[in-house]
Amino acid sequence: MNIIRFSHYYRKFNSFNLAHPFKLLYVFRVDSKDMSNCFKYYDTLIADEGGFYYLPSGRLLVLLFEQDFKLITTIRAWTEEKERYYYSNIGNEFNFVVKERSSM
């Protein structure tokens, strides 16, 4: 099974079951300057800490996943190798592995 690792628990995870796999539907190559602030907010808001994950400038990949007909994205740093890997896995399932949540 493919794995996507997350260094934080993000607010966007709240309506998903992280114990079940996600299907990769599509891969978008984007430039950080072309992404809306509201999309960056949605994708990077850290639930427990209230901060945001830092996004590098330049080329990025937006991965679109589905679980039980609900959509979720994750933004990843771009490399040619990562782009080939994710494109070759469109239609395949991934487990989301999240670093342990901080205690509140």
**What does the pLDDT look like over 56-93, one tens digit per residue?**
999 999 999 999 999 999 999 999 999 999 999 999 99
Nearest to 74 by CA among 31, 21, 33, 27: 27
Report the sign of the C-alpha dihedral through residues 71, 75, 26, 38, in that order. positive
Domain ranges of the chain: 2-13+20-98
* Per-residue confidence (pLDDT) for residue 101, from 0 to 100: 58
**What does the pLDDT look like over 17-54, one tens digit per residue?**
999 999 999 999 999 999 999 999 999 999 987 799 99
Q: Which two tokens stand for residue 28?
A: 């978008």
**What does the pLDDT look like over 59-68, one tens digit per residue?**
999 999 999 9
